Chains A and B, each alone.
Chain A
Amino acid sequence: MSAAPVELPVWADAGLVPLVSVTAALLVAGLVVIGIGENPLEATALLLRGALGSGEAIGFTLYYATNFIFTGLAVAVAYHAGLFNIGGEGQATLAGIGAALACLWLAPLPGLLLVPLAILAAAAGGAAWALIPGWLQATRGSHVVITTIMFNFIAATLIVYLLVELIGNPGSMQPETREFAPHAVLTPMHRLLAPLGLVLPATPLNSAFLLALASLCGVWLLIFRSRLGFAIRTLGANPRAASYAGLSVSRLTMVAMAVSGALAGGLAVNEVMGVQHRLLLDFTAGYGFVGIAVALMGRGHPVGVALAALLFGILYQGGAELAFDKPSITRDMVVVIGGVIILFAGALDGLFRRLVAAGLGIGRAP
């Protein structure tokens, strides 16, 4: 009878607990909305309509969700290996540099070859930027939490240097590259689906969304169905048992970090190749950090990550619309709501698990 965390059935663990925490977070956020003199029900309705009320709204929501799927999966994969990768921002930055260099330098190649190569370059950039902290942890014991944060700063200054000094567009006042050739960018969804007779409004949603869905399946296959994933999960759940089983802890640490970084690179694919069509400063815009919350809410499972990414997509898109309709509710308010959700779903998770367990009559009396 040890003091182990409360055990719940899978459906309650993956569905009910997040639902309860999100509801509680919305209630608290509602109180804040009341505090600034607005009607929380009206605000919620505006937010939902803004996120899901039209084809255009849904397109934007899914575009945001694409970013969150990539960064959430990145955190989730590392998490299964017992590693906390906080470097999604930096890894995506390097991925953006990789993708931009490929798109600019390999422009003579046909699009069918160029786009996959640029995606690979993005993955390689992200993987390399995560591999170094992984290697440092495996060989020197430097904790990835510290080193990945450091690498975020290095990446942020590196991209400034590159854009200002080396690959920037000489004719522009902005630190950004020139626009990629039209055949080097990803197809927007509304154009991709037009031949099928589907008429969608023009949104930033592009084929990177399909790549995100494929990544969800791929990560599920990797973590839960492959030999490598078994080894990664063993390392994460019990490093001593991993050594006992004859697994190479250092090799697995590096592999898991590389896969994690490559997934974070998906953010650059969506933003740089799918939307901006050029490399510019700060395109990562904090998505890498939100990925931590997405992975935590989603319990590291691809299905959970997809749902959490959708939730944050709704918050981002609906929040933008809400801020537009209700000037007293600023974008910062929306950030507050997101923060409350992260607080409730992440830090206070144990509280709600215990409440849910008590409600279901599971667990033990005090």
Chain B
Amino acid sequence: MSEAAAAPAIELIGISKRFGPVQANDGVSLQVAAGTVHGIVGENGAGKSTLMSILYGFYAADAGTIRIAGREVEIRSSGEAIAAGIGMVHQHFMLVETLSVLDNIMLGVEGGALLRGGMRRARAELARLSGAYGLAIDPDALVGELPVGLQQRVEILKALYRGADILILDEPTAVLTPPEADQLFALLRALTAQGKTVILITHKLREIMAVTDHVSVMRRGRMIAHLATAATSPAALAEAMVGRRVLLRVEKPPRRPGPPVLAMQGVGLRDARGVTRLSEIDLVLRAGEIVGVAGVAGNGQSELLAVLAGLAQPSRGEISLDGRVLGPAERNPAALRRLGVMHIPEDRQKDGLVTAFSAAENCILGYHDDAAFGPGPLLSPSRIRRHARAAFAAYDVRPPDPELKTAKFSGGNQQKIVLAREIERAPRVLLVGQPTRGVDIGAIEFIHRRLIALREAGVAILLVSVELDEVMALSDRIIALCGGRITGERAAAEADERDLGLLIAGVTGEAA
């Protein structure tokens, strides 16, 4: 962390970029000192990704200058970015899972028509890099068999192998357990200690506070603030991002759990390939309580939601609603909706919405047989529009235009459309998957308040989220899932992050 006496590692001056009517970047300037971790925060659509894509050569800026180590450069492709010493670790890894670590690292820079010499050099260089930064990894392991944390390490090594002095990490902790995230932060420290520069894009303010030296806040395409991390606070950052004061804590009155509504007994699920996805799930949801499911993505949370929503049929065990076991005919989404089991799916764009449809049409998805929407076999566009307008007003969907194509709404507003549709029919049970994934802070606040209000109204809520903070903030009880099994249960009041981190990593503690 030497004070940058020399030129900054990266200097962006007056970067502007317009996509049709949207000014994604508007005169953005940024200075990143060499050997520091620099955080960039901002809501979805604030222009962080666009800015980084310009820096990495995916887009050409309409105006502005880029200087790397004081020298003005023009970056027209990712190849030129790599040549300028910039490496990028994408949120979704760009790895070939069926190849080894070494293969992945030298992919594209094989160094000649014959592999053998390049391979030997790459192996030596990889060993050197691993030693220099404490990045232990087996070069011959298949990438697909590595845990996610190690796959991310391969991505970082890939960038370093290509001579990167500047690393851009886009939401790097989205797929990591808390211990893996801690390891990553230690690694970032080690990298900056050796003079590398790191840009960290994230929406988790806790991480900004934990690991960055400086932080820049973007809002609506503009740079709002450049701050030294030590001199700011999460609340101040949140306010700068949204432009108004935000409640970071969820205010939740003490719970009054009602009678059991939905129960699972010994539920197991095997997928089409015969792999066990869920086993021996015993779970009770009570009226007026939120049960949070903590776990790293891919440990059975999605399958749990699918089974309860009727999208997957359990291979064993039974599910009962109000003490009555559901028969096969009732375990489908349409029948369950009629029984009051509503579902906000994890992936709103793939499952919850038809993004090619108008917003008004998406407001009736799953309910298009409702007599209120038209006479007989026909649908009435005016009635559907009127219904959507009422829902948009109640749920503050912006822009409140029912005719607009759903794909054109921001993530937060798309989520509000799904939320409005599933909540407005007074559910008895609400299955919620990743309610705030890719949603900006203002909308997160809104969604959390709605979920708490439903809990007050006596709805039994199952909350699945990869955001441990969210699970801990909203839930009354938390269950941890690992490998398709419940590895522990905690009352939210007694849960702490370290303890839950062990549970979701499969280290079973004593029963609470």
A17 interface hit (Cβ, 8 Å): no
CB-CB < 8 A to A228: which residues of B? 377
Q: Report the bound CA distance from A221 to B333 in whole Å.
A: 27
Q: A233 contacts which chain B residues (CB < 8 A)?
A: 354, 357
Q: Which residues of A contact B379 (CB under 8 A)?
A: 225-227, 230
Stretch in contact with the other chain, from B91-99, B366-374, B454-462: B366-374
| Shortest Cβ distance from B338 into A: residue | A246
The distance in angstroms between the C-alpha atoms of A86 and B389, with both chains bound, is: 41
Evaluate contact between A243 and B333: CB separation under 8 angstroms.
yes
> B378 touches which one: A221, A243, A245 (CB < 8 A)?
A221
Asked if A1 and B24 sit within 8 Å, CB to CB, the answer is yes
* Known A226-B379, A231-B368, A364-B19: A241·B352 in contact at CB below 8 Å: yes
Provide the residues of chain A in CB contact with B310, threshold 8 Å: 246
Which residues of A (220-237) have their CB < 8 Å from a CB of B? 221, 225-228, 230-231, 233-234, 237
Whether the pair A366, B374 counts as a contact (CB closer than 8 A) is no
Say whether B407 faces chain A, with CB atoms less than 8 Å apart.
Answer: yes
Pairwise interchain contact A245-B366, C-beta atoms closer than 8 A: yes
Near B by CB (< 8 A), chain A positions 314-366 give: 362-366
Q: Shortest Cβ distance from A5 into chain B, in angstroms?
A: 10
Given A1-B24, A364-B20; A238-B350 close (CB under 8 Å): yes
B1 within 8 A of A: no
- Contact between B337 and A226 (Cβ–Cβ < 8 Å)? no
- Set B49, B59, B354, B374: member contacting A241, Cβ < 8 A: B354
Are B350 and A240 in contact (CB-based, < 8 A)?
A: yes
Q: Is the CB of B369 within 8 A of A227?
A: yes
CA distance A241 to B369 in the complex (A): 16
CA gap between A244 and B366 in the complex, in Å: 8
Choose from B20, B53, B60, B354 the contact partner of A237 (Cβ within 8 Å): B354
Q: Which residues of A have CB within 8 Å of B357? A: 233-234, 237
B365 touching A234 by the CB < 8 A rule?
A: yes
Q: In whole angstroms, how far apart are the Cα atoms of A362 and B311 in the complex?
A: 40
Known: A241-B354, A244-B333. A1 touches B49 (CB 8 A): yes
Q: How far is the CA of A225 from the CA of B509 in the complex (A)?
A: 57
- B368-A244 in contact (CB<8A): no
**Which of B350, B365, B379 has most A Cβ within 10 Å?**
B365
Given contacts A227-B368, A227-B369, A230-B368, contact A245 B333 (CB under 8 A): yes
The reply on B332 being an interface residue by CB < 8 A is: yes
Distance in angstroms from A51 CB to nearest chain B CB is 36
Bound-complex Cα distance A4 to B349 (A): 14
How many of chain A's residues touch chain B, expressed as a range?
20 to 34
Chain A residues within 8 Å of B334, by CB = 245-247
Report yes or no: B352 in contact with A237, Cβ–Cβ below 8 A: no
The reply to whether A365 and B60 contact each other, CB–CB distance below 8 Å, is: yes
Task: Determine whether the beta carbon of B355 is less than 8 Å from that of A238.
Answer: yes
The answer to whether A244 and B343 have CB atoms under 8 Å apart is yes
Cross-interface CB contact of A225 among B309, B332, B337, B378, cutoff 8 Å? B378
B186-200: CB near A (< 8 Å → 1, else 0) gives: 000000000000000
List B contacts of A1 (CB < 8 A): 19, 24, 49-50, 53, 59
A1-14: CB near B (< 8 Å → 1, else 0) gives 10010010000000
Q: How far, in whole Å, are A363 and B381 apart by their CA atoms in the complex? A: 29
Q: Does any Cβ of A come within 8 Å of B510's Cβ?
A: no
Q: Are B356 and A237 in contact (CB under 8 A)?
A: yes
| CB contact list, B337-396 vs A, under 8 A | 337, 343, 345, 350-357, 361, 364-366, 368-369, 373-374, 377-379, 381
Question: Closest approach, in angstroms, between the C-beta of A53 and any C-beta of chain B?
Answer: 42
Tell me the bound Cα distance from A363 to B53 in angstroms.
17
What residue of chain A has the Cβ atom nearest to residue B334's Cβ? Answer: A246
Interface residues of A (CB under 8 A from B): 1, 4, 7, 221, 225-228, 230-231, 233-234, 237-238, 240-241, 243-247, 362-366
Q: What are 5 pairs between A and B in contact, CB < 8 Å?
A: A226-B379, A234-B365, A245-B368, A246-B337, A247-B334
Closest 5 CB pairs of A and B: A246-B334, A246-B333, A245-B366, A244-B351, A238-B354
B residues lining the A interface (CB < 8 Å): 19-20, 24, 49-50, 53, 59-60, 62, 309-311, 332-337, 343, 345, 350-357, 361, 364-366, 368-369, 373-374, 377-379, 381, 405, 407
